[in-house]
Amino acid sequence: MNYRESMKPNNDGELVIGGVKASDLSKKYGTPLYVMDVAFIKSVCKAFKYTINKCYEGFGAVAFASKAFSCKAIYAIMKKLDMNIDVVSSGEIYTAISSGFDISKAYFHGNNKLISELEFAVANKIGVVVIDNIEEIDLLDNICKKNGVVQKVNIRTNPGVEAHTHSYIQTAKIDSKFGFSIENGDAMQAILKILQCKNLSLNGVNCHIGSQIFDCNAFRLAVDVMTDFILEISKQTGYNVPELNMGGGFGVHYTKNDPKYTLEDYCNYINIIALALKDAIASKGIHKPRLVVEPGRSIVGESGITLYSVGNIRDIKGIKKYICIDGGMFDNIRPALYQAEYEAVIATKCNAPAEETVSIAGKCCESGDIIIDKINMPKAKRGDLIAVFTTGAYGYSMASNYNRNAIPPVVMVENGKSDYAVKPQTFEDIVRNDNIPDFLK
C-alpha cells in the first residue's frame, strides 16, 4: 500500500491522512469524498524546485500542469510556493486569477485554443502562449496587435519520442493531435513564421512525450531531439531559443505494478533531464536555455485518496462478488476511460488480512463503472469505509454529473486541520442551469 508519513494507518489500523482519521473525515464531510494531503503536495513542489535549481544552476522553473487538479485552493498553494502553472482553457485561467494567482506565471496550452480564449488570455496578460498550430500564429499575432502588446510564445513540438505507457495517453507519436512535428519540418516552419511576427516574441520550444512515464531514457532521447532542434534554429536563423520546456508525464504509484518512489526518486526525473541537457549543451555547443518542466500527476496524484461508503454487496456465488460504493465513474472516470488501475483498503481495517477477491463497483448505470476490477480485501460490509489511493490527479478534474450524481466535495488536510477546497454540490447546483423552453410549457 502506498503509505507515507502523512498518510498511513494508526495503531488501530485506521487510515490517517494529514493527521485526521478517515472515519472523522467521513463523519464530518460525508462520502464520497476527495481528500488531499497538502503536506505531500508542498513537499513535492519544493523538492522539484530545489532539484531543478540545484541540477541546473538556478536556471529552471517548475510549472504545475493544473489540468490534473484545478480549483482555487490548489492555485493558492502554487502561489505560496512561487510555482509556475500550466492552464488549458479560459476556465482554468479564470479560476487561477480569481484565486489571486499571478497569471503572468502561466503557460497556456491547447491544441485548439478558441479565439475567445486567446483574447481572454492576452487581455489578462498571460505569461506564455504555447502555440500548437500554424493557424494559431496569425490569430494570436492579430489579437496582440489589437491589444498593442508583444506576447511571449513557445511552440509545442512533437519530437516523435514514444514513451512506454498506455497508448491512450501517449501524445508524442507522429500521428498525435498535439504539436508540430520536428522531423517533417513543420516545427521549423512555425519558428520561421513566429520570428516574422511583430507582436510575438519567441520564448521557447516545448515537448510533452506522454504521461505516467517511468522510462527515463524517453526523457534523455527527447532532450537529444529538442537540443538538436534548438541547434538547428540557431544555425538557420541566428536566434538562440531562450527556453526549453520538457513537459511533464512523470509516473506515479497507483498499484504494486508501478515502482514505489521516494521523493528523491521523483526528483530523479528532473535530475536526469537536467544532466542530459547539460551534456547536450556541452557536446553540441548550444547556448544554455532556461529549463522548464510541467508535472501534473506527480504533484497531486499521490496526495489524493477518495473515501467511499459500502452499500449493496452483490455476491454471484462462485463467479464474482461486487462491493458497491456510493461513488463511481462520476468522480473517477479513469478506469472506464482507459482501464486505469488502483489500490484500496477498508480505511478502518488497513492491517486486516485479505479474505476474498472482489470488484469495487460504482453506482452509475454503466457496466463499465468499476473502480477496481479485482482486489483482495478483508470482508467488507455495508457502511464500511473504502479508501482508494492515488486519486488526486485527473479524478476531480474529470468529474461529471453523470446520472445527476453530485460531484463530491474536495477536502484538504494538513497537520490535523481539514477544510473544503471544493464544497459539495447541492440539488440546487445540479439544476442551476436547467431551463424548460417556453414552447414546452
Q: Note the residues at the interface with ligand PLP (CB under 6 A).
A: 65, 67-68, 86, 109, 208, 211, 247-250, 294-298, 393
What's the gap between Cα 76 and its chain centre?
16
Q: Respond yes or no on whether the N-terminal peptide bond of residue 378 is cis (omega within 30° of 0).
A: no
Tell me the closest approach of the beta carbon of residue 251 to ligand PLP, in angstroms.
Answer: 8
Residue of 144, 216, 267, 365 with catalytic role: 365
Helix (H, G, I), strand (E, B) or coil at 177: coil
Cα–Cα distance, 315 to 303 (Å, whole number) = 33
Please state whether beta strands 417-422 and 410-414 pair in parallel, antiparallel, or not at all (unpaired).
antiparallel
CB-nearer residue toward ligand PLP: 280 or 299: 299
- Amino acid code (one letter) for 396: Y
CB-nearer residue toward ligand PLP: 273 or 375: 273
Tell me the closest approach of the beta carbon of residue 299 to ligand PLP, in angstroms.
Answer: 8
CB-nearer residue toward ligand PLP: 211 or 348: 211
Which helix or strand (DSSP H or E) is residue 73 part of?
helix 72-80
Tell me the closest approach of the beta carbon of residue 44 to ligand PLP, in angstroms.
Answer: 11
Where do we find the cell 503557460?
107
CB-nearer residue toward ligand PLP: 298 or 348: 298
CA distance between the termini of the chain? 55
CB-nearer residue toward ligand PLP: 29 or 108: 108
Cα–Cα distance, 52 to 295 (Å, whole number) = 12
CB-nearer residue toward ligand PLP: 9 or 204: 204
Q: Which whole-number Å values give the CA distances from 36 to 19, 160, 185, 418, in the listed order?
A: 12, 35, 44, 9
Tell me the closest approach of the beta carbon of residue 6 to ligand PLP, in angstroms.
Answer: 21
Cα–Cα distance, 249 to 132 (Å, whole number) = 18
Please state whether beta strands 304-316 and 320-325 pair in parallel, antiparallel, or not at all (unpaired).
antiparallel
Tell me the torsion sign for CA atoms 15, 20, 21, 26. negative
Which helix or strand (DSSP H or E) is residue 239 part of?
none
Tell me the closest approach of the beta carbon of residue 212 to ligand PLP, in angstroms.
Answer: 6
Tell me the closest approach of the beta carbon of residue 207 to ligand PLP, in angstroms.
Answer: 8
Active site residue 71: no
- Amino acid code (one letter) for 197: C
Please state whether beta strands 370-377 and 344-346 pair in parallel, antiparallel, or not at all (unpaired).
unpaired
CB-nearer residue toward ligand PLP: 18 or 249: 249
Which helix or strand (DSSP H or E) is residue 63 part of?
strand 60-65
Q: Which whole-number Å values give the CA distances from 163 to 111, 160, 222, 243, 342, in the listed order?
A: 20, 10, 10, 22, 21
Tell me the closest approach of the beta carbon of residue 278 to ligand PLP, in angstroms.
Answer: 22
Pick the closest to residue 131 from 117, 113, 150, 116 (CA basis): 113
* Residue positions annotated with a catalytic role: 365
